[in-house]
Amino acid sequence: MIEFQNVSKTYSNGTKALKNVNLKVDKGEFVFIVGSSGAGKSTFLKLIMCEEKANEGEIIVNGRNLSTLKRRDVPYMRRTMGIVFQDFRLIDNMTVFENVAFAMHIVGATNKEIRKRVPYILGLVDLQNKTMCHPSELSGGEQQRVGLARALVNNPKLIIADEPTGNIDPALSFEIVDLLNEINRRGTTILMVTHEHTLVKHFHRRVVEIHGGSIVADTASQQEVRHED
């Protein structure tokens, strides 16, 4: 699903963001990416999302080598991913339904497909009664669930969640990760960056720690350890 082979990234100002990173994430895994601010987590995600290119090494995502990916193919590559942002990035003058439907319009879905798919996805995130609300009428947790619905609506193979609980009440953070867990159980690969160690400890998933641009720890999920035992 995702493979980094001897990947390094140095920015034009000389900042060495990643140094010889090797990592493999299999299809269907749920992986927490942790590390202090400036550790390299954001660069790691940007490389996967094709927002940046590595200086050295190869990155394989969904069977595609990003090192040789042409610029015109980047939008199609991104369609295989769903992205959940810390700051929600909803369109204020659109309703909940329209915000989620917009992601389907972009990929050329028909109105019939949209009318069928969007209510189903909003039901999954328990927002079926908020379809005609605007973002300003929603709580932070509800706005993040709209963001999650938007990431899910095109049935991506991979969801990248970049600090998805950073702007919501701590009590709601567990709710959001519970939803991601459920999505993962349905077969979607989840990659989640977080600073919240309580979440990481609670959900017992694989944890990859980045420090100074290098992977310093890679701990298997406790479910896998128990299974192997």
| Residue 223, pLDDT score | 56
Q: What is the DSSP track for 159-228?
A: EEEESTTTTS-HHHHHHHHHHHHHHHHTT-EEEEE-S-HHHHHHHT-EEEEEETTEEEEEE--HHHHHHH
Reported as a single tens digit per residue, the pLDDT across 48-72 is 999 999 999 999 998 899 989 998 9
Among the listed ranges 151-155, 205-209, 221-225, which one has the minimum average pLDDT value?
221-225
* Contacts of 83 by beta carbon, 8 Å cutoff, 6+ apart: 49, 151, 159, 160, 161, 162
| Residue 193, pLDDT score | 94
Q: What is the mean pLDDT of residues 144-155?
A: 94
Reported as a single tens digit per residue, the pLDDT across 117-142 is 999 999 999 999 999 999 999 999 99
| Residue 229, pLDDT score | 44
pTM, to two decimals? 0.89
Reported as a single tens digit per residue, the pLDDT across 160-175 is 999 988 888 887 889 8
